Structure 1
Amino acid sequence: MKTIAIYNNKGGVGKSTVSLFLADYFSSGAVTVRQREPRILVIDLDGQGSSSISLVGLRTVAWARQEKRTVAPLIQKLRSGAKIDLGEYVLLRPEGVSRGRQLSLGKLWVIAPERDGIVEIEKNCDLRCFVRMAKVLKEALDPHFDITIVDLPANIDQRNKIPLAGLLMSNVIFVPTDPSRVTLNALPDAFENIQYVRRIARDQKIKVPQLGGIILNKTDKRAKQYRLHHEELQELAAQQNTVVLKNFLPEAPTLSTASDDSLEFGALRERYEKYYGHVRKVALEVAEKAGFTARSKG
């Protein structure tokens, strides 16, 4: 199993949107793992539950929270060594039905968050605890999934052990951002947390998560804001031994609408409309940097 973390310590930069379209595109058969179409899992660690609600709907997520079938109870049981039925904690998004030859939204699975449960676990969780959380969760999921996408919350620090475990269990981390002054000022906080987790991995002799790159969101390369800050963003990336991805996402209401769980979508182009080309290019570049075999479909 390869795990992709989507993280920025600032809110509103598109972490859940990026998690959503990567899950959609990868599940459509556009990438292969071990020469077959992968089984995709999304772990939503943001208490708001935006990506999980977008994928399986508010009612399903509300049911999972009520029945304690979310990420926090799963981690608690794994830490205790109890035997679990993983099927009790993963929510299915069935394959969509498309018209004609359009690429259907593929089948995938989701683990939803629940804020109170996450807070309760973190009350008495030290460094050893969060390292163990990352280990047991990855080991439990590894036989069942090929690609896991972890949607992380904003505003975390070293007290937030479950999001840190999400970073620690990842193979590669991508940082969505927009090219505004306010957002760029917040990037060092994100990189500090990433480097903290990378140091822990080295100390614990765990495979160190790689920084795959910065994904530009809400971007117009003709705009003054982009021209003013693009070079600085490239320098920030270079300081972290990473890159700004060549492909980007524009400022587009359609990309916000794509996450509306009250709308029904059966196909990729239906969900992303005229911006599907941008979504496709970014997803393929992410796949390449994450080490998947990508097939340019649709």
Structure 2
Amino acid sequence: MKTVAIINLKGGVAKTTTAVSLAELLAEGDKRRKRPGSRVLLFDNDKQGNASRIFGTYEREQEAGACRIIKTGRIAGNIRDTEVENMDIVTCNYFMELAELEIKADTVNTQHGRYKSALGEIDGKYDFCIIDNPPDLGMNVINAMVAADEIIIPVCLDAYSLDGLEELVEQINQIRALNPKTRLAGVLITDYEKSDTSEAAESWIRAKSGCPVFSQKIRHSKKAKDATFYRLTPLHYSIRSGAAQDYKAFAAEYVQKFGGPAAGERS
């Protein structure tokens, strides 16, 4: 099973949209490219629970799966079905705040390797685990990075996002001390609108940031914004929208570059 963490320290850069779109597209496969659907676990690691809400699995009154996993390091009983074929989900909610306080107070057991241990229990059951993360570096995000094989960083082409990119890359390099196999799969440019400024920013990030950057960009799309209101992915809200088509192309680029079941990597 390949674990992919979607991370950025800045909010509003389409982390959740990227995570749910990639998970959904991997699960559905691509008939045109003769890529079969993969077995996917979407892991909601954000206390806001937006990924959980999209798939109708958000739990308000009781502790969600991710909260129990980070406390116990066990995944059994914490996976739920979704209506998407081949895709299951680990949910998250605001109980994550209490869970993080609890594990920070635990000075006996390892704090940073709990997701890695839990996901090890289901290695072979899924082809991919896609982890959606909040815009911070809490213990749950550190756990996600330690568990990840690959990290994808969605960025908007503004100064705040680009400033935070350098700090996040430094954190990824530090995480390699705990997880030497993790790598930065690439930066994904999101909410793209063509202008002189955005073109200059894109040139800088591709040539001078020192980070790999996906060729595919995700265009700004009002349909993608509207989809969040209706708790849908861009593909389910408007398959013909620019963002939906861009995410399809991005998923294809990701699989082409990093492999998957069609490339013989099924667990």
TM-score bracket for this pair, using the shorter chain length: 0.7 to 0.9
1:126 and 1:8, CA in 2 relative to 1: closer, same or farther beyond 3 A? Answer: farther
DSSP-derived class of the 1:51 partner: helix
1:284 and 1:72, CA in 2 relative to 1: closer, same or farther beyond 3 A? Answer: same
Which of 91, 94, 100 matches 2:83? 94
- The residue aligned with 2:58 is 61
Q: RCO greater where, 1 or 2, for CA within 8 Å and sep 6 or more?
A: 1
Which of 106, 111, 124 matches 1:143? 124
Q: Mind listing any 5+ residue stretches in structure 1 that lack a counterpart?
A: 96-105, 203-207
- The residue aligned with 1:191 is 169
DSSP-derived class of the 1:273 partner: coil
- The residue aligned with 2:90 is 111
Please tell me whether the aligned partners of residues 254 and 272 of structure 1 are also in contact (alpha carbons under 8 angstroms). Answer: no
Shift of 1:231: 2.5
DSSP-derived class of the 2:214 partner: strand
Question: Is the deviation greater in 117-126 or in 224-233?
Answer: 117-126
Please tell me whether the aligned partners of residues 288 and 294 of structure 1 are also in contact (alpha carbons under 8 angstroms). Answer: no
Which of 291, 295, 298 matches 2:259? 291
Shift of 1:261: 4.4
**Whole-Å separation in 1 of the counterparts to 2:116 and 2:136:** 24
4+ aligned runs moved over 6 Å, structure 1: none
* Residue type at the aligned position of 1:292: G
Please tell me whether the aligned partners of residues 28 and 36 of structure 2 are also in contact (alpha carbons under 8 angstroms). Answer: no
**Whole-Å separation in 2 of the counterparts to 1:248 and 1:16:** 16
1:258 and 1:289, CA in 2 relative to 1: closer, same or farther beyond 3 A? Answer: farther
- Number of residue pairs the alignment of both structures matches: 257
Q: TM-score, normalised to structure 1's length? A: 0.77
**Whole-Å separation in 1 of the counterparts to 2:184 and 2:136:** 19
Shift of 1:269: 6.1
**Whole-Å separation in 1 of the counterparts to 2:157 and 2:52:** 27
Q: Mind listing any 5+ residue stretches in structure 2 that lack a counterpart?
A: none
Deviations 1:211-250 (A, max 9, x none): 1010000112x31221221222124442xxx411111101
**Whole-Å separation in 2 of the counterparts to 1:261 and 1:42:** 19
Please tell me whether the aligned partners of residues 255 and 272 of structure 1 are also in contact (alpha carbons under 8 angstroms). Answer: no
Please tell me whether the aligned partners of residues 5 and 167 of structure 1 are also in contact (alpha carbons under 8 angstroms). Answer: yes
Q: TM-score, normalised to structure 2's length? A: 0.85
**Whole-Å separation in 2 of the counterparts to 1:289 and 1:128:** 37
1:19 partnered with 2:19? yes
Shift of 1:123: 2.3
**Whole-Å separation in 1 of the counterparts to 2:235 and 2:200:** 34
- The residue aligned with 1:217 is 190
* Residue type at the aligned position of 1:278: D
Note the 1:1-298 alignment, pairs <5 A.
1-30=1-30, 37-54=37-54, 56-57=55-56, 60-62=57-59, 65-78=60-73, 86=76, 88-95=77-84, 106-114=85-93, 115-125=96-106, 129-156=110-137, 160-202=138-180, 208-220=181-193, 222-238=194-210, 242-261=211-230, 268=235, 270-275=237-242, 276-292=244-260
1:193 and 1:121, CA in 2 relative to 1: closer, same or farther beyond 3 A? Answer: farther
